[in-house]
Amino acid sequence: MAETTDSIWMIEGKARNQLASAEVLAKKEAAELWCQRASEHTVKHGGKPWKYALVPHDVVDENMSLEFLVRAGVSA
């Protein structure tokens, strides 16, 4: 999880060779739906929207910015 001034991110790292597996894609879909529903609730009550990013493990490093990780994530 990462919180910015305008949103809350759920960031999930996965091995690159597993990104296209049915299990990972199903979990990604469930996480995106959860973020959509959480956003509807939090925004309605003055909170921030939730966003999801599935990120290949080999792009994650301690010097990476949130912006970089989100751009490197797997698109919906």
Give the position of tokens 């919180």. 3
Task: Provide the domain count of the chain.
Answer: 1
Confidence (pTM): 0.84
Beta carbons of 39 and 49 less than 8 angstroms apart: yes
Give the tens place of pLDDT for each residue, 15-40: 999 999 999 999 999 999 999 999 99
- Tell me the residue range of the domain where 16 lies: 2-72
Mean pLDDT across the chain: 91
Cα-Cα-Cα-Cα dihedral of 27, 29, 30, 35, to 10°? 120
Buried b (16+ CB within 10 A) or exposed e, 21-58: eeebeeebeebbeebeebbeeeeeeeebebbbbbbbee
- Other Cβ atoms within 10 Å of 73 Cβ, number: 20
